[in-house]
Chains A and B, each alone.
Chain A
Amino acid sequence: MTRSIKILGTGCPKCKTMSNLVHDVVKENSIDATIEKIEDIMEIMTFNVMSTPALVIDDIITIKGRIPSKEEVLELLK
């Protein structure tokens, strides 16, 4: 099943770090997933998060307000 990954962030350095990290994890482990970066604040607000960057996997908020480690992301995608 293709996983759907969304990264919510308004474009601050932290959000970019998170985005690169997730891309790396998906690539390195050949995970079948779509990655979408959401930068529009109104769209971000529909997810009800208050701190960015946030990582949404299959429409569930998994991480918010901090940059996770690669292992953590991999664990979440398993």
Chain B
Amino acid sequence: MFDWIQNIADWLIYGILGMKAKSHLAEALNFFIYDSSKILILLFIVIFFMGIVNSYFPIDKVKNYLSRNKLYGLEYLVASLFGVVTPFCSCSSVPLFIGFVRGGIPLGVTFAFLITSPLVNEVAIGLFVGLFGIKITILYILSGVLLGTISGFILQKLNLEPLLTPWVKEVLANAQREQDKFYKEKQPFIKRLPVIWNEVMNILRGIIPYVIVGIAIGGFMHGYIPEGFFQQYMNKENLFAVPIATVLAVPMYSNASGILPIVQVLVAKGIPLGTAIAFMMGVVGLSLPEAMLLKKVMSLKLIGIFFGVVTLCIILSGYLFNIIL
């Protein structure tokens, strides 16, 4: 599927630049051009596709749906699935939280959405396809959805409403299964396209530097770290590897775009995939800046429980990946 990129890279390096094949530098450059082109193309496709879905499926629609329908236990899964197709920036997490709670959506269901949405986003999916292939990507999406569903379910059972901040409790008391009117954009596709296109370009412009630097560092490490180097420290038998990787990752707030290419190299050099995915989920799904924002609506104790439950679920899925892969 990507042979043509390889041809272009070959032509550029060996033809235009006249570098000798087999030299280390030429091969590294060739790999870099091939890898970054492939990943950028995949990112573009996934982000564009998600932009279209999102344009027809705004968050208000999601909220109204969850608020209106009785789903008999499936609401956690549905909220989690909505999280996949509805990207949101972490600064929207508080308005989103309040909006859901005010619509009478249970706390646990709201959490399910809040967990999956950042975890399985268009950028992560695009990068996963480019770096690890389709099979691993699907596994990642499935486990992200399950993670949100299960964590949301557990959080609901813990009866955490008393731990919300007072003004949110007030909102909760006045909650009703109301249908917010929202200004539906009834526009034909052709009119939506420029808006979607702008968003795609904005997102890409924001992540391209990280992706390029990440791939460059990855490429460098590729050449210098010996094959299987990490195996001795972080093999599957080492039971502490997954929890340590996850706990290290939670306070980190990076663009998945910069870290993923590096993680891919680590996997190639012997770190088990489950451990690496647990690390990724910790980085992407939970972050300190998000915790700071959530302080407006939750007590510290509740944030602690929320992060604790999600961290635990991430660790479990890391083990699960290591067992089945």
Contacts and interface: CB of A to CB of B under 8 A. Distances in A.
B161 interface: no
Contacts of B195: 66, 68, 72
Interface string B176-188: 0000100100000
B232 interface: no
A51 to B, nearest CB: 5
A14 interface: yes
Q: Which of B91, B96, B202, B293 has the most CB of A within 10 A?
A: B91
Contact of B98 (A11, A15, A45): A45
B88 A51 contact: yes
B199 A51 contact: no
A68 B197 CA distance: 11
Nearest to B206: A13
A62 B182 CA distance: 10
B91 A12 contact: yes
B88 A65 contact: yes
Contact of A41 (B60, B95, B180): B95
Contact of B95 (A50, A69, A72): A50
Interface in B40-82: 58-60, 63
Given A10-B293, A41-B296, A42-B167, A51 B183 contact: no
B91 A45 contact: no
A74 interface: no
Interface string B222-244: 00000000000000000000000
Interface in A27-57: 41-42, 44-45, 48-52
Interface residues of A, number: 24
Interface in B257-313: 293, 296
A14 B91 contact: yes
A71 to B, nearest CB: 9
A67 interface: yes
Given A50-B60, A66-B195, A61 B183 contact: yes
B94 interface: yes
Nearest to A50: B99
Contacts of B254: none
Contacts of A12: 89-91
A52 B195 CA distance: 16
A72 B197 CA distance: 14
B94 A10 contact: yes
Contact of B96 (A15, A42, A51, A69): A51
Contacts of B174: none
A9 B58 CA distance: 18
B91 A11 contact: yes
Contacts of A61: 183
B94 A51 contact: no
B7 interface: no
Contacts of B202: 67
A48 B99 contact: yes
Contacts of A9: 91
Contact of B199 (A15, A48, A66): A66
A51 B92 contact: yes
Q: Which of B89, B92, B180, B293 has the most CB of A within 10 A?
A: B92
Interface of B: 58-60, 63, 88-92, 94-96, 98-100, 167, 171, 180, 183, 194-195, 198-199, 202, 293, 296
Please provide the 4 A-B residue pairs with the shortest distance between their CB atoms, ordered closest to farther: A12-B91, A50-B99, A51-B92, A50-B96
Given A41-B95, A50-B95, 4 more contacts: A9-B91, A10-B293, A11-B91, A14-B89
